[in-house]
Structure 1
Amino acid sequence: MTKLTTIILAAGKGTRMKSDLHKVLHPIAGRPMLDHLMASAQELNPAQTVVVVGAGRDQLERALGERAETCLQEPQLGTGHAVQQAQGALRDLEGDVLILYGDVPFVRAATMRRMLERLHAEDAPAVVVLGFEPDDALQYGRVIADDAGRIDRMVEYKDASEEERACRLCNSGLMAARAADMFDLLARVGNDNAQAEYYLVDVVNVANGDGRTSAVVKTDDPREVAGINSRAELAEAERQWQDFRREEAMADGVSLKAPETVFFSWDTRLGRDVTIEPNVIFGPGVTVADHATIRAFSHLEGASVGEHAVVGPYARLRPGTVLEEGAKVGNFVEIKNAVMGKGAKASHLTYLGDATIGAEANIGAGTITCNYDGYFKHRTVIGPRAFIGSNSALIAPVKIGADAIVAAGSAVSRDVADGELRMVRAEQLVKPGWADRFHDTMKKKKAGENPAEGGPDGGGK
């Protein structure tokens, strides 16, 4: 295969987002839109990735780390000028270049491959452009091409005639070319246009002037090349991604009771015959095994749910949570960095943090693991088949042995041995008749109140 370099344009200020965060770092399904694009491009195994940056350069370089090289476009004089800045970062001009946009995150790897395959077809076009036909062409640049996809010319909307604007084939901005061709053509692009900018699309017109042909490849789905420039467009991109993921999940054997109310993360993994009830949210890092049930209004992040496990309703699983086969986490239970063993249950109103709960253990309502002392986190270990009574506080670090019982209302600060009963309560004090005498005294006192001092006849309390 020919060596490939991907050049991603991300130098725009993104002013319409009205955000301190760089536009291409805004998340879709919990993942920066730039990372969605880079993941697709990575399927083509590029030898080099160069990101053209401008405003917000420091943010982008921190986010990219070692995954890509960056080059600065300053001042910003158009898309053609942006691609020119990448030339200095290229190791050489061998192979192909694929021009992508950081705010167009949903381009599929298959579409990128089609562009490169067309570039190496028998007629050897100088440039391949990705086109699309939207329902409303709006102010997109137009691609004027014949039925075979050979491009006659390309024109920006502001510079187009009425006849050219009537063409429905629009320019997505994405291009493929041989690296040497791309930079030779760019060197001859001028800025005699309405914006006084160097347009990338003009490389096609320069190639035409050389007597060479260029070609257009059309995407089947215009949503693939939708750009994101505002919060409203970001929300639409999120909706588009979620709709696709819901359809994919159901096609793979997941039951969604109310699909439009379930929100996935980019890396959510679901097994077969999983049931997900309404209003469930998956944050990053969640895996759900076969036959598990996620009940309504639950929130999961960084968690692993085993086969036949049940979560919720109204449960929260935080990072580090592992539910083994058949474990149950019920309503208003929060778990963080804890393992629930096979068949273990915490059915209601419980917080389990930094804990290991053995198989078949039962955690009563209102139980908490007191895992934080204000400076350090400590772990609670509960043995298999242990029974923790309601409203118990387990003060970590502490170990509850196998088959042990902690009586309801206990505050346990020392280890409990296997099979032991631990009851930690103050002695109950009983005073027969005290409550009756108290009520009688207070009623007589209230009946004898001076109306001027308030009470039933004096008004106000």
Structure 2
Amino acid sequence: MREKISAIVLAAGKGKRMRSSFPKVLQDLKGRPLIWYVLKNLTSLKYINQIIVVLGYRAKDVQEQVNKEFKGIEFVCQKEILGTAHAVKCTKRIVKNKNVLVICADTPLITKNTLYKFVSSFLKSKSICSLIVAYQKEKTDLGRIVRDREGKIMAIKEKIELKGKENFREINSGIYCFKKELLFENLDKIKKNKRKKEYFLTQIIEIFYRQGYKIDTYLLDDEKEILGVNTKRDLLKVEKILQERICGKFIEKGVKIVDPQTTFINEEVKIGKDTTIFPFTFIEKDVIIGNNCLIGPFIHLREGTKIEDNTNLGNFLEICRSRIGKEVKIKHFGYIGDTTVEDKVNIGAGVVVANFDGKKKNKTYIKEGAFIGSDTILIAPVKVEKQSITGAGSVVTKNVAPFKVVVGVPARALRKVEK
């Protein structure tokens, strides 16, 4: 049986530089809290059978949010925020495996594939410690790797400690694997940082080096994966990179995205092949779009919306919690909420589904082949039966029978639909 590993997720910090009343790890990143991205990757790795989140600032709020999204996560509380080494020490009593992965909750760009390869290489190496590193291409405040003449890692130093020594370009990710026994034996040897008054886990590398242990590294090709999020500016930078990845994934699967720079798609969206996404399209999580659809420009598809094949959704349109059938046309501005639209329906410009009565959201059904005239308001709950027509400007407050034309405020039957 393969060795298993316990993952420790460091999530105790307030994130002062974020300048927010919310904990840093709960900052929104494309519809999910920041911590979600790391936990999603960890929960999908077969080597990991224990995940421990170290809480601190607003611990209850963070724990509640994590429990909404994931099952089986364990928690410990760092009552005093005394640094990363102290945070790891807080987990000593509950870590159950001989191998430990330590990762910060604010590294959402690290991929599942990278973590899998890193953990696999550590377990195969029989090393006592390994860390993910990269070579600096852009300016960063991440710690620098210091090696001896033989190329062995001696220490991790902060950028300020190496002022004037620009040749130290190898950077620390803050992601480590350890042998549990040696890790916890040596945490007490870490000294408090004089400037920040905290105990930093990076010191453990220097301690291991002095004891003669070999420390392995896993080199990343793409340093963007280890970008941390400390400010709102960092959050925007990371969001842009995530968006590029998401759009790239859909393009590879046969989706045409006219301008990825102005298209915003959540990671948990599904889009069929030969669909075209026009600029300034915003698609939230749990949206499903079929094959050969035209979406946008300037459209907002909200959570819980499903769009079937060969449908055309156009400018300045918002759709929420609705199912849109095949060969439907809603090409101009409007709002569709809590609505089932069957196949071959045409909905004109300015149509609004009034789904909220002040107390609850109500359902609307538009049956196959119906024609909803421009500026129609549908007051939910209501049904518009198949092949029926609403005249321009109608306010529909009652169900419309099949093959009927209704007009007026409120809408009344005018005649049958001429076949």
**Fold conserved (TM > 0.5)?**
yes
**Range moving further from structure 2, 200-209 or 289-298:** 200-209
SS at 1:170 equivalent: strand
> Is the alpha carbon distance of 1:147 and 1:172 closer, same or farther for their aligned partners in structure 2, counting shifts above 3 Å?
farther
Deviation at 1:310, TM superposition (A): 0.7
Give, in whole Å, the separation in 2 of the partners of 1:344 and 1:95. 61
Deviation at 1:350, TM superposition (A): 0.6
> Is the alpha carbon distance of 1:108 and 1:120 closer, same or farther for their aligned partners in structure 2, counting shifts above 3 Å?
same
2:401 maps to 401
SS at 2:168 equivalent: coil
1:69 maps to 74
2:300 maps to 299
Give, in whole Å, the separation in 2 of the partners of 1:401 and 1:178. 72
SS at 1:135 equivalent: coil
SS at 1:411 equivalent: coil
Q: How does 1:118-267 map to 2 (within 5 A)?
A: 118-122=121-125, 124-136=126-138, 138-145=140-147, 150-160=152-162, 166-191=167-192, 194-267=195-268
SS at 2:340 equivalent: strand
> Is the alpha carbon distance of 1:192 and 1:32 closer, same or farther for their aligned partners in structure 2, counting shifts above 3 Å?
closer
Deviation at 1:58, TM superposition (A): 2.1
Give, in whole Å, the separation in 1 of the partners of 2:409 and 2:139. 69
SS at 2:217 equivalent: strand
> Is the alpha carbon distance of 1:13 and 1:53 closer, same or farther for their aligned partners in structure 2, counting shifts above 3 Å?
same
Q: How does 1:324-403 map to 2 (within 5 A)?
A: 324-352=325-353, 353=355, 354-371=363-380, 379-395=381-397, 398-403=398-403
The answer to whether the Cα contact below 8 Å between 1:384 and 1:402 also exists between their aligned partners in 2 is yes
Cα deviation digits, residues 16-45 of structure 1 (max 9, x gap): 111111111112221112101111112214
Query: What amino acid is the match of 2:371?
Result: N
The answer to whether the Cα contact below 8 Å between 2:272 and 2:290 also exists between their aligned partners in 1 is yes
Cα deviation digits, residues 85-108 of structure 1 (max 9, x gap): 122343x2x232111111111111
Give, in whole Å, the separation in 2 of the partners of 1:58 and 1:230. 23
2:112 is the counterpart of 1:109 = yes
The answer to whether the Cα contact below 8 Å between 2:246 and 2:266 also exists between their aligned partners in 1 is no
Deviation at 1:264, TM superposition (A): 0.9
> Is the alpha carbon distance of 1:259 and 1:141 closer, same or farther for their aligned partners in structure 2, counting shifts above 3 Å?
closer
Give, in whole Å, the separation in 1 of the partners of 2:163 and 2:377. 71
Query: What amino acid is the match of 1:96?
Result: N
- 5+ residue gaps, structure 2: 356-362
Task: Give the root-mean-square deviation of aligned CA atoms.
Answer: 2.3
Query: What amino acid is the match of 1:400?
Result: V
Deviation at 1:295, TM superposition (A): 2.3
Cα deviation digits, residues 108-164 of structure 1 (max 9, x gap): 112112222222234x2211011111224544322234799742333333444755x
SS at 1:331 equivalent: coil
Give, in whole Å, the separation in 1 of the partners of 2:138 and 2:415. 74
Query: What amino acid is the match of 1:157?
Result: K
Deviation at 1:347, TM superposition (A): 1.9
> Is the alpha carbon distance of 1:150 and 1:420 closer, same or farther for their aligned partners in structure 2, counting shifts above 3 Å?
farther
Cα deviation digits, residues 276-325 of structure 1 (max 9, x gap): 1121111222111000111211111121111000111111111x211111
> Is the alpha carbon distance of 1:364 and 1:24 closer, same or farther for their aligned partners in structure 2, counting shifts above 3 Å?
same
With the length of structure 1 as denominator, give the TM-score of the two structures.
Answer: 0.82
Give, in whole Å, the separation in 2 of the partners of 1:138 and 1:313. 41
SS at 2:249 equivalent: helix
The answer to whether the Cα contact below 8 Å between 1:145 and 1:216 also exists between their aligned partners in 2 is no
1:82 maps to 87
Structure with higher Rg: it is 1
Give, in whole Å, the separation in 1 of the partners of 2:109 and 2:227. 8
> Is the alpha carbon distance of 1:239 and 1:193 closer, same or farther for their aligned partners in structure 2, counting shifts above 3 Å?
same
Give, in whole Å, the separation in 1 of the partners of 2:140 and 2:267. 31
Deviation at 1:56, TM superposition (A): 1.8
Deviation at 1:401, TM superposition (A): 2.1
Give, in whole Å, the separation in 1 of the partners of 2:293 and 2:182. 55
Give, in whole Å, the separation in 1 of the partners of 2:383 and 2:193. 73
Query: What amino acid is the match of 1:282?
Result: I
Query: What amino acid is the match of 1:179?
Result: K
Deviation at 1:412, TM superposition (A): 4.1
The answer to whether the Cα contact below 8 Å between 1:126 and 1:177 also exists between their aligned partners in 2 is yes
Deviation at 1:217, TM superposition (A): 0.8
Q: Percent identity?
A: 22
The answer to whether the Cα contact below 8 Å between 1:137 and 1:170 also exists between their aligned partners in 2 is no
Q: How does 1:403-422 map to 2 (within 5 A)?
A: 403-406=403-406, 408-412=407-411, 421=416
1:28 maps to 29
> Is the alpha carbon distance of 1:108 and 1:177 closer, same or farther for their aligned partners in structure 2, counting shifts above 3 Å?
same
Deviation at 1:420, TM superposition (A): 6.3
**Range moving further from structure 2, 201-210 or 300-309:** 201-210
1:96 maps to 99
Give, in whole Å, the separation in 2 of the partners of 1:147 and 1:271. 55
> Is the alpha carbon distance of 1:213 and 1:193 closer, same or farther for their aligned partners in structure 2, counting shifts above 3 Å?
farther
Cα deviation digits, residues 381-404 of structure 1 (max 9, x gap): 121111122211121xx3222212
Cα deviation digits, residues 360-414 of structure 1 (max 9, x gap): 111111111222xxxxxxx21121111122211121xx322221221x224148x
Query: What amino acid is the match of 1:30?
Result: G
Give, in whole Å, the separation in 2 of the partners of 1:6 and 1:370. 52
Query: What amino acid is the match of 1:103?
Result: D
Give, in whole Å, the separation in 2 of the partners of 1:248 and 1:200. 36
SS at 1:317 equivalent: strand
Q: How many residues align?
A: 403
Give, in whole Å, the separation in 2 of the partners of 1:166 and 1:20. 39
Give, in whole Å, the separation in 1 of the partners of 2:391 and 2:163. 79
> Is the alpha carbon distance of 1:74 and 1:158 closer, same or farther for their aligned partners in structure 2, counting shifts above 3 Å?
farther
1:313 maps to 315
The answer to whether the Cα contact below 8 Å between 1:81 and 1:198 also exists between their aligned partners in 2 is yes
Query: What amino acid is the match of 1:381?
Result: K
With the length of structure 2 as denominator, give the TM-score of the two structures.
Answer: 0.90
Give, in whole Å, the separation in 1 of the partners of 2:163 and 2:193. 16
Give, in whole Å, the separation in 2 of the partners of 1:243 and 1:54. 33
Give, in whole Å, the separation in 2 of the partners of 1:311 and 1:356. 18
